[in-house]
A and B are shown apart, each in its own frame.
Chain A
Amino acid sequence: MSAATVPITRRTLLKTAGAALVIGFEVPVKLKAKAEPEKPVLNPLSAWIKIDQGGTVTLAYSKSEMGQGVSTSLPMILADELGVDWKSVRVEHAPTDPAYGDQGTGGSGSIAAMFTPLRQAGAAAREMLITAAAQRWNVSAAECAARHGAVWHETDKLTYGELVESASRLPVPDLKTVRLKKPEEFELIGKGVPRTDVPAKVDGSATFGLDVRVPGMVYAVVARCPVFGGKVKSFDASKARALKGVLDAFQIEPDQGVHSCGGIAVVAESTYLAMQARKLLHIDWDYGAGADESSETLRRQFRKLVDSSMKVVLDQGNVETALSRAPAEKRVECDYELPFQAHATMEPMNCTVHVQGDRAEAWVPTQSPEWALRAISQATGLPAQKIKVHTTYMGGGFGRRYQADFALEAAQVAKKISRPVQLVWSREDDMGHDFYRPASYHRISGAVDTEGNITAWRHKSTSTSIAVFWGDKAPPESSELGCTLQMPYLAKSYRLEYLPADSAVPRAWWRSVEASVIGFVMESYVDELAHAAGVDPYTFRIRVLGEPRMVKNPSDKDAIPLDTARFKAVLQLAAEKSGWGSALPSGRGRGIAAHYSFNSYVSNVAEVAVENGHVRVKRIVSAVDIGTPVNPDGIRAQVESAIIYGLTAALKSQITIERGRAVQNNFNQFTTLSMKETPQIEVHIVPGTAAPTGIGEPGLPPTAPALTNAIFAATGKRIRRLPLQAGDLA
């Protein structure tokens, strides 16, 4: 099994993402640690920080910029410890190099993983510059101070530009003991700076993957089997090859490791020609076992599974007894249903590869440059050291660009064509061959007592498991249950049951992954219990959160416990800022929801107006606790983004399946929230001091339930199946 075919799961990726970053010298030297194994070290003054004589400071960021703002927030952390003015800072993407640690960008993990290592690197560089100045002046380093890009001793001053050459030759201080700023000394962290990538994104100069232009470059598209899992039986490319400007057409093989489809590649002198030539291919497909699958067959399977006895994943108290003892009016049983969702990044998948004899160069809009590199290495047969991967800007990621299928395909084509090749996916390719957010079905039975306590909560669910699709060694439910394993609300009995459903539809990590499903289900159901108890939904949540406690994940000892005090605090802040409880005109309603995902806490309150069966979201107030905030406006932007992404999935978009293929293949069918449907969004950030956590995803899970709870408050109609269908509110 070659490297790229080793199944990579988000579970393993996230575990490695948490590993400590190795900081070291460009020319590796050995740390003098005795007990620990020796690690190569990067010199922060060459790997992370470059300072020119004029004082311009270039800071590297090692995570992919897909719009979430890491090309600003990560360099901010370095710059703060380094002690330079932000206006002197330029940023650049770090090379793809294991020395920078895990460069995979996902799981809302960049700030969480990099906060301390970047502070240590910035502080180490600052101390080296101070030492260089002290040596120059022949004074003690303790008498010197660094600020605004210079080292000072009394009234003497040496700029970093004057010091960098000698400083970079000094030994790197021990990163574990280097002095870090106290939070009150921060000059950038928590205060914020404008985004570094904005200027290039208002004049067309930002280079996305599709904008890469290499001299002599040609373009390729691939015809893939429309049915998931299908293969080429035979093909005739003679008409395509005959078109002027077409260089070649040939078969490429599918790959089980990256789950690429294989198909017929067409290479031409322009994107348009390649797309036109593809239409001239005659391909006889073997549709395979998935050809009869549809959303309806899947739904029947889901229902049969939840009607059956399922695997018990978690069992606390006696849920059967509690349910049987509860009076009928205090018992609530509901089914919830969520569809497949496409990522629909604005920039479709693409990758540019140039194979030049014994080496290759690639330009990849990827969230995982390491995985792209392994895929290119596998497809070309070249060793990884002979492949240079450039990570470009990307027109959206949302998890789709963690995959390496498009990089592997590009390398397969480039290996055959001795010119640089840009592989382009059309929008139809992109939407029809995504790795979708799983479809799922849930049945929750529970009850409250006369005092408004939850006496029973039994959640049976089934889905097209991500773990099953990727052949993960972990059980099928490991990718599907999310925060149900860290139940914040007190329930006297609680049981989780699960079985996976069979499906050929590819699925993987869509923005907030299983939390996008679990957040909706849990926060819808707790709302239903509040109404069964006759208690205001906000008050009910606060009550059933009980006394502050830490909730561990029984199936993952490495998971960070959920702190119910922080969970409660975001609910309180969102309620306060939204004017929870104040009167609304007729036809309007407010809904609240909160969720814990990626170690962050978010509560959203939605306000809706429902008129003639049509819902309009007027306002969403969000409260977030992500520990120490780094770039507040960037945090607000990510929450706005996640809320709109979540509203689109709740109100507009879905992928349905017919005859084994995706029905929706472009934006005319997969519709998104438009500006006139976009509510006013307010984001409030808890001024936390705990270690920072991520915010690319956690704003999404409490969005759909806040919306549907608000619809219920406005109309008395409970939405349990997403997205909202025409007629649901009629």
Chain B
Amino acid sequence: MSISFEVNGEKKSVDVDPKTPLLWVLRDTLNLTGTKYGCGIAACGACTVHIDGEPARSCAYPVASVQGKRITTIEGLSTDRSHPVQRAWIAEQVPQCGYCQSGQIMTAIAFLKKNPKPTAADVDEAMSNNICRCGTAQRIRAAVLRAAASASGGEL
């Protein structure tokens, strides 16, 4: 059975078991390896992508459910790391191992769309379900606040 959807503005059609989590279709079928496998049970957030603009944990999201939908992954944010959240991540020197950061960034962007002027406590609440074993939370918090401060209007 063929399932069609859009990824980063490109139309895609895949022929896989419809129960396959979107994560593995992105990584193994479409070769978009920026989205990471961390737990497989939607507990860590490393696999976060946007589905029709909403954050979703792709490791627990059957590909059949994205039929006709619009998906954005870390690779789709910009061609030159110019997205305000990417710029903030660089300015705050957030990543260490970097493995969780795609999911962190995708979570942060979706959050800032809903809450463009967050407090530090808002950021903590929104980002607390993404795990980083390197302990970059303090820098992530600073980067999200920096991105919010740098963005004007609908830039995010």
Contact = CB atoms under 8 A, between A and B. Distances in A.
Interface of A: 66-69, 194-195, 197-208, 210-211, 213, 219, 270-273, 276, 344-348, 393-398, 424, 426-428, 633, 637, 640-645, 666-668, 672-678, 680-681
B124 A204 contact: no
B41 to A, nearest CB: 6
B136 interface: yes
Nearest to B121: A676
A202 B133 contact: no
Nearest to A422: B28
A593 B147 CA distance: 36
Query: Which 4 pairs between the two chains have the least Cβ-Cβ distance?
Result: A204-B34, A644-B135, A395-B99, A67-B97
Contacts of A346: 36, 38, 44, 46, 97, 99-100, 131-134
Contacts of A426: 40
A272 B131 CA distance: 23
A270 B24 contact: yes
Given A202-B86, A675-B124, A394 B97 contact: yes
Contact of A676 (B20, B29, B99, B124): B124
B39 interface: yes
B119 interface: no
Interface string B113-142: 000000001011101111111111111110
Contacts of A219: 28
B75 A203 contact: yes
Interface of B: 16-17, 20-21, 24, 27-29, 31-41, 43-44, 46, 73-75, 77-78, 81, 86, 89-90, 93-102, 105, 121, 123-125, 127-141
Nearest to B106: A204
A667 B134 contact: no
Classify the interface of chain B: helix, strand, loop or mixed: loop
17 contacts: A69-B96, A198-B90, A199-B81, A203-B81, A204-B102, A205-B75, A346-B36, A346-B100, A346-B133, A395-B98, A397-B97, A668-B39, A673-B137, A676-B128, A678-B137, A678-B141, A680-B138
A428 B59 CA distance: 14
Contacts of A680: 138
Contacts of B81: 199, 202-203
Nearest to A424: B37
A266 to B, nearest CB: 15
Contact of B20 (A208, A272, A428, A678): A272
B29 to A, nearest CB: 7
A272 B28 contact: yes
B137 A211 contact: no
Given A203-B75, A675-B141, A681-B138, 18 more contacts: A69-B96, A201-B95, A202-B81, A202-B94, A203-B34, A204-B73, A210-B37, A270-B16, A270-B20, A346-B133, A393-B98, A395-B97, A395-B99, A396-B134, A637-B93, A640-B135, A667-B131, A676-B121
B23 to A, nearest CB: 8
Contacts of B36: 208, 210, 346-347, 395
Nearest to B73: A204
Contacts of B94: 198, 202
A210 B28 CA distance: 10
A27 B12 CA distance: 50
Nearest to A210: B37
Nearest to A203: B81
Contacts of B28: 219, 270-272
A345 B44 CA distance: 12
Contacts of B90: 194, 198-199, 202
A637 B140 CA distance: 12
Contacts of B140: 675
Contacts of A344: 133
Contacts of B37: 210, 271, 348, 424
B144 to A, nearest CB: 10
B82 to A, nearest CB: 10
A66 B133 CA distance: 12
Given A198-B90, A202-B81, A270-B29, A666 B39 contact: yes
A644 B97 contact: no
Nearest to B96: A67
Contacts of A676: 121, 124-125, 128
Contact of B95 (A197, A272, A398): A197
A202 B128 contact: no
Nearest to A213: B31
Contacts of B97: 66-67, 345-347, 393-397
Contacts of A640: 135-136, 138-139
Contacts of A273: 17
